[in-house]
Amino acid sequence: MTTRSPLAPAAFPTLPDIAGVSRRVARAQYKNWDRCDLTYVELVPGTAVAGVTTRNICCSTEVEMCREGIAHGRARALIVNAGNANAFTGYRGREAVEQIVAQVVAHLDCDPKEVFVSSTGVIGVPLPKDKAREGLAKVIGFAGPPASWEDAARTITTTDTFPKGSAASAIIEGRTVQVAGIVKGSGMIAPDMATMLGYIFTDAAVAPALLQDMLNEATGATFNSITVDSDTSTSDTVLLFATGQAGNAPLTTRDDPGADALYAAIHAVALDLAQQVVRDGEGASKFIEVQVSGAVSDESARRVALSIANSPLVKTAIAGEDANWGRVVMAVGKAGEPADRDRLAIRFGDHWVAKDGLPVDGYDEAPVAAHLKGLEIRVGADLGLGEGRATVWTCDLTHGYISINADYRS
């Protein structure tokens, strides 16, 4: 990993063990680096699974096969390869994934649809089958102590500068159920489902259909509400596993006792993980929250917020600590959503800089400039048209982003 992001949390959080989840990591050496790059997670029989995948049309074989597994609704294993995306690799890439699945099926005697594979890294290079086979052989059936959550989180990273994890709990009929998750992501991050690899685990008993409903809802306000650079990856996947080992009566509908509490825990973990991805945005020096209100609908507000958050001119101005609110006006106007120049209001932090299409009377830039010198920046736009509102999170755009991506394959 490169120099740790200045926006990173102080330390990796303490995550609870999830009954029915066993973690292993190994060195497959997909790249010439001195670190583990293969994660294997074994799940107890009967584990329910839900998932969301990239809408990028040029998706990987892993994503295509993952969708089949999500439809099946059950999972026994997860394998994550780091350093090679195995996307745009044709039949060679598919053969590599099929080999991994067959190797795990032979060990677990399970349905191939219950084996989930993800890969992340360079696009256009087939995953080396020999390295995948040998790396997986190191962890299948390994009888030693399990890998820690932090080790698993670190193993799935690529350009990340810190491993990312989060946890929460809920009470279902007097029983405490745990939720824990890890995610990787730093660049090629834009909301179009979820643009990263993320894995959330719970020991609650939940029917696959309800689990999918919960993940779909949580994704909209979390993984689908972040952006680093407006690019949607070919490999992105978020999976939610429920092992059923907590002993609660299986949840089947949102009206079941405890369902709301479980959803709240899943949402909290997803939001924390999503925001950590932004805090690790390639080259990022500032974490930016964009709030849009007064839109004709929530979806319209979201599109305007994303227009602001994805604007290179807005992001570079914030990197330079320049209170150039005209760039926010520009981003609102280009969004293609209903807006009225003469009703628009703009703020930085708690300080309104423009209202009703004009700079505010007696505008003092000093407190705005002071806000922009911090690490946590808030930008607001009120369109004055309706009740729609949305919040999106992004980071600034610095020379560091260019350096990382100009040298990505070297």
pLDDT of residue 337: 98
Lowest model confidence (mean pLDDT) among 75-79, 88-92, 197-201, 314-318:
88-92
- 393: pLDDT strictly greater than 90: yes
- 21 DSSP β-pair partners: 43
**Residue-wise over 392-409: b if at least 16 C-beta within 10 A, else e?**
bbbbbbbebbeebbeeee
Annotated binding-site residue numbers: 158, 184, 195, 282, 405, 410
What are the residues facing 49 on neighbouring strands?
241
pLDDT tens track for 179-236: 999 999 875 555 455 457 999 999 999 999 999 999 999 998 999 899 876 666 667 8
Say which amino acid occupies 204: A
Do 108 and 241 lie in a common domain? yes
Burial class (CB in 10 A: 0-12, 13-18, 19+), 231: middle
pLDDT in tens, 35-53: 999 999 999 999 999 999 9
Same domain, 267 and 173: yes
> Could you tell me if 237 and 292 lie in one domain?
no
Evaluate whether residue 7 is within a structural domain. no
| Together in a domain, 242 and 328 | no
The answer as to whether 148 is a domain residue is yes
- The CATH number of whichever domain residue 269 belongs to comes to 3.60.70.12
So which residues are the catalytic ones? 195
Q: What are the tokens at 56?
A: 């990028």
Burial class (CB in 10 A: 0-12, 13-18, 19+), 370: middle
| Domain identity same for 213 and 293 | no
Question: Which of 279, 302, 325 is where one domain is finished?
Answer: 279
Binding-site sequence positions for substrate: 158, 184, 195, 282, 405, 410
Residues 318, 243 share a domain: no
Which residues lie below 8 Å from residue 321, measured CB to CB, with a gap of 6+? 369, 372, 373
In a domain, 2, yes or no: no
CA-CA distances (angstroms) from residue 123 to 59, 84, 90, 126, 407?
A: 10, 7, 12, 8, 14
**Count of domains in the chain?**
2
- Write out the H or E segment, with its range, that includes residue 95: helix 90-108
Domain that residue 121 falls in: 21-279
Percent pLDDT > 90 in the chain is: 80
User: Measured between alpha carbons, how far is 55 from 310 in angstroms, rounded to an integer?
Assistant: 18
For 291-302, the pLDDT digits (tens) are 999 999 999 999
Amino acid at 234: T
Which of 350-359's residues contact partners 24+ apart within 8 Å by CB, and which partners? 350/378, 353/323, 353/325, 354/325, 354/329
Tens of pLDDT, residue by residue over 107-137, are: 999 999 999 999 998 889 999 999 999 999 9
